[in-house]
A = this chain, B = another copy of it.
Amino acid sequence: MKRNTWQREAVRDVLDSGDAFVSAQSLYSQLRDAGHAIGLATVYRALADLAGGGEADCLQSAEGENLYRACATGHHHHLICRKCGTTVEIKADAVETWAKTVAAEHGFTQAEHVVDVFGLCASCGSALRSIPPRQ
């Protein structure tokens, strides 16, 4: 039987309180700093449960860290600020059908897809107006 503990609630609360992707480690630090004596393993377990239950989205940062974010709605994609992590959910039916089509054209079945757009959000972008884009 699934039980409700204050630890799970705490993790859920942190996720719900922000619209940016957070790593398990940083979420753990936040809770610790806030005075909650939660364990790291518990944070990982809670996040995995939330992601598995569809209450959170999970994506990998460029550094290979798993990042989580609250989300109740169905399948969608993300537009993520690579500076502050702020995220906008995107519905893109065109991309869904494109992915399915392109897979079928090459004989692939059971297609899933990873589609995320990274950039600088309006505020982070304007803060860097004088600095030339990297690369």
Contacts and interface: CB of A to CB of B under 8 A. Distances in A.
Q: How many copies are assembled?
A: 2
A98 interface: yes
B110 A113 contact: no
Given A64-B66, A66-B64, A102-B90, A117 B110 contact: no
B115 A115 contact: yes
A40 to B, nearest CB: 17
Please report whether the interface of chain A is mostly helix, strand, loop or mixed according to DSSP.
Answer: strand
Nearest to A99: B117
Interface in A110-135: 110-122, 125, 133
A60 interface: yes
Range of interface residues on chain A? 20 to 34
A125 B108 CA distance: 7
B108 A81 contact: yes
